[in-house]
Amino acid sequence: MMRKIENLHAEIDGKPILEGSLPVNAGEIRAVGDPNGAGKSEPGR
């Protein structure tokens, strides 16, 4: 089974930093990260 997060958007100080969809197949884990590794897992909770 595949799940899909659609219309995913994030911005910082009005500047878009993330936009789109995120498909996740059964058994997969998807992550959004950057060099400092802080706070990107929160949207998936």
Is the pLDDT score of 14 beyond 60? yes
Q: Max alpha carbon distance in the chain (Å)? A: 36
Domain count, the chain: 1
pLDDT of residue 38: 65
Q: Is 7 among the domain residues?
A: yes
- CA atoms of 28 and 2, how far apart (whole Å): 9
pTM for the structure as a whole:
0.44
What pLDDT was estimated at residue 42?
Answer: 56
43 lies in a domain? no
Query: Where in the sequence is the domain holding 19, given as residue range(s)?
Result: 1-26
pLDDT tens, residue by residue, 21-34: 888 898 888 877 66
Least confident of 1-10, 22-31, 36-45: 36-45
In a domain, 6, yes or no: yes
Asked if residue 3 belongs to a domain, the reply is yes
Higher pLDDT, 32 or 14: 14
Side chain identity, residue 15: K
Domain-embedded: residue 16: yes
